[in-house]
Chain A
Amino acid sequence: MSDTIILEVARFNPESDAEPSYESFEVPLRPDWMVLDGLNHIKDQLDGSLAFRWSCRMGICGSCGMMVNGVPTLTCETLLMNYAPGPVRVGPLDHFPVVRDLVVDLDDFLAKLQKVRPWVVRKDDFKPAREFIQSPAQLESFHQFSLCINCTLCYAACPVYGLDPNFIGPAAIALAHRYNLDSRDQGIEDRLDIVSRHEGIWDCTVVGECSTVCPKHVDPSLAIQQYKLTATKEWFKSFLLPRGKH
């Protein structure tokens, strides 16, 4: 097998380019190298102007998501070898505006995170002197949904978000769901309102591209389906309750 591989990397400089193009670089193909190591080789040795985000190189900070051969991928934990003999095409995440090269604009995503009120909401003022008691089973009920690293691969995979950027999207719904399911939280009504008012959630089918690409097994698709169910129930309640009062 060849000991190098060709990386075709998306280049876009908004100060000089009208549109993105791909540039090829030949990088070493080492058995323990990740796709990110290939990009760093380019940056350090071949072209210092290549722009991409990375930090932890251990799959936990969520910075290094890119399209690799058309699939949203966490580049620091995906072996370059998987794509041998190449070439491998690396581009910015789909569905986001491109800032430069492999860097996309995440403003919209950050705004959505904030929108779902991702913090413990208490309607009472109860603050136990010790911890809230939470059984391992109660913890388990939301734990999976708390594992999201905000890598936004699921947004790049989501066909609904691709068509309608107003869709609040998989990770934000999973996050809202995470707090709704947390036994310490009382904010479910506030969050239902925010999430279900957006049309997108009802357009989402059970296809689950988001869960397929999610590198942390958060299963945002499951969160969305469960959310719809709760939303429907709460929605009915909201009709029933006021009537009950009259």
Chain B
Amino acid sequence: METSSHDILIIGGGGAGLRAAIEIAELDPKVDVAMVSKVYPMRSHTVSAEGGAAGVAGKDDSVDEHCYDTISGSDWLGDQDAIEFFCNEIPKELLRLEHWGCPWSREPDGRIAVRPFGGMKKMRTWFAADKTGFHLLHTLFQTSLKYATIARYDETFATRLLVEDGAVRGVVAIELRTGKIRAIQAKAVIIATGGCGRVFPFTTNANICTGDGMALAYRAGAPLKDMEMVQYHPTGLPFTGILITEAARAEGGWLLNKDGYRFLQDYDLGKPTPTPVLRSMELGPRDRVSQAIFGEFEKGRAFHGPYGDYVHLDLRHLGEHKIETRLPMVRELCLKYENIDPVREPIPIRPVQHYMMGGVHTDINARTSLNGLLAAGEAACVSINGANRLGSNSLGEILVFGARAGRSAIETVRASGSGNETAILAQARDEERRLEENFLHKTGGAERIAKLRDEMQRAMESGCGIYRERNSLVASANKLRELRERAANLAIDDHTRTFNTQLTAALELGYMLDVAEAIVHSALDREESRGAHQRRDFPKRDDQKYLAHSVAHQAAEGPPRIEYHPVVITRWPPGERVYGR
């Protein structure tokens, strides 16, 4: 077994991981920092983000207003201290990106341009056309190349956290190209592994979004917070689930049912106007807009297609010039994947799983409840997103809390003694044995990975989708238990060390089953409706009982143990969410 050691190890090379690495390299070049990523960093899922990143920019705007939009958007489940910190920091982070070369779109006078976004009362979303995540990720990656002190293990897949005496001391990871199993020791480990959309069948998320880091933390004893809060984005292309960015509506796009009617007016989201009005109609928050589309499906006012019901997103009235300059990627995606030109035809869309508000439970400094373990980005839950994230707050979150995690990790390193290396390496060898016995040398299993994955995804959609209820959730939970048992009997036909993607698919399935279980049980225990979590059997928000974060601990046997932690309320007492009136 190959071993190496660093001061800080970051798992994940997306926006959060890269931002953490740069922060560490800038703050203290003597700190030895390394990054493990299962894909080359610039392939990370941050690359897919389209619409933009919110940060107060205009004179007519204020941090308090950004806070209020985020808090009401979160249905009061976001922690207000974290949100205030976030809203204060984000403009500085976006500016830093500008200084690092991010090609932000500009006003005619050369200043940064901002656009409206759903649930935001002011125009404050910075954007780089509709490839914001792509530019942000490449800017961070390219800037990181400047720092010789950042070591990288590219295409290296983390399989387990090493925990000794209550503190995280490193990871075991497989180098994909050679199949070598490595023990990488560190005094602090940052989880920046992104989301877990692939536990659902229909998602905007990339193939790599399998919740690995959430499961690694969960297994090591760090609990997962608010896992029932799963965001559906209103506008996905029906077959692929490819996202049509909210910016399409921010630029003035309309949602129409099969009668050509702007149906959002029937769902307490305001009255239609020819040009977009902030926090109203098509610029409502994602949970409410997705639920409204679902409502049209149920009323039979949608189109029926081969991949289920859909409604229209109409951009035609924006004209070719605006579509080409502000939404070029939307046009490119529609042409390539649906053979539709949005300049001439409306786009068929349906709600699609998009984002995890929940994740590894951290405090405002990105620390988890395990010593030496930090988390940031979509894998973490601070929480600033509560029960519903506002579009364009996530790119900000990965920057602000990525940097924060880097800073905290340096403090951890300075305070940390040396661990018991013999015990740590013994653990690593156990993991090596597990990988070899259960996968690399395994013969004779009967279950196909793809089949189990498929059944899991269907169980999640049917039981734990936009609307949930006790019976459907219990059925999903039972199904997940069954799948977990069957997963012990996987058929492995690839016993090669070199770039074994069947091995990684099998490990990812294991991660997803753990994460799915946390989602379902957290959803089962929350007997109210709030934000993205809509229970048919408990249709009202219940602040008496559930103005609280769910925190799921993995149990040795059986379902997770769920605790509740109070939400931090500072200046904004819980109120009604009002849009369009």
Contact = CB atoms under 8 A, between A and B. Distances in A.
Most A-side CB within 10 Å, residue of B131, B146, B154, B499: B499
B207 A58 contact: no
B333 A58 contact: yes
Interface residues of B, number: 60
Nearest to B204: A58
B239 A32 contact: yes
B106 A120 contact: no
A103 interface: yes
Nearest to A122: B99
B45 interface: yes
Nearest to B492: A48
Contacts of A62: 42-43, 47
A133 B110 CA distance: 5
Given A55-B208, A61-B206, A131-B95, A48 B449 contact: yes
A108 interface: no
B370 interface: no
Nearest to A45: B450
B40 interface: yes
Contacts, number: 160
Given A55-B208, A60-B47, A139 B499 contact: no
A63 interface: yes
Contacts of B571: none
A117 B524 CA distance: 52
Contacts of A103: 499
Give the dominant DSSP class at A's interface: loop
B471 interface: no
Interface in B490-508: 491-494, 496-502, 505
Interface string A33-59: 000000000011101110111111111
A229 interface: no
A110 to B, nearest CB: 7
Contacts of A179: 101
B42 A133 contact: no
A55 B496 contact: no
A13 B40 CA distance: 22
A100 B155 CA distance: 14
Interface in B109-135: 109-112, 131, 134-135
Nearest to B126: A131
A13 B496 contact: yes
B101 A184 contact: yes
B93 to A, nearest CB: 13
A60 B207 contact: no
A48 B493 contact: yes
B108 A136 contact: yes
A245 interface: no
Nearest to A128: B99
B416 interface: no
Give the dominant DSSP class at B's interface: loop
A22 interface: no
A117 B146 CA distance: 7
A12 to B, nearest CB: 10
Contact of B502 (A49, A118, A138, A139): A49
A107 to B, nearest CB: 9
A51 B496 CA distance: 11
Nearest to B454: A44
Interface in A108-141: 110, 113-114, 117-120, 127-128, 130-136, 138-139
B496 A61 contact: no
B151 interface: no
B220 interface: no
B110 A138 contact: yes
B324 to A, nearest CB: 13
B39 interface: yes
Contacts of A110: 40, 154
Contacts of A142: 103
A106 B501 CA distance: 17
Interface stretch (A2-10, A143-151, A154-162, A199-207): A143-151
A146 B501 CA distance: 31
A77 interface: yes
Interface of B: 39-40, 42-45, 47-48, 95, 98-101, 103-112, 131, 134-135, 138, 142-143, 145-146, 154, 177, 206-208, 239-240, 242-243, 329, 332-333, 336-337, 448-450, 491-494, 496-502, 505
Interface of A: 13-16, 32, 43-45, 47-49, 51-63, 77, 99-101, 103, 105-106, 110, 113-114, 117-120, 127-128, 130-136, 138-139, 142-143, 146-147, 149-150, 175, 179, 182, 184-185
Given A43-B501, A118-B142, A135-B106, 10 more contacts: A32-B337, A48-B492, A48-B493, A53-B39, A55-B39, A56-B48, A57-B240, A62-B43, A132-B99, A136-B107
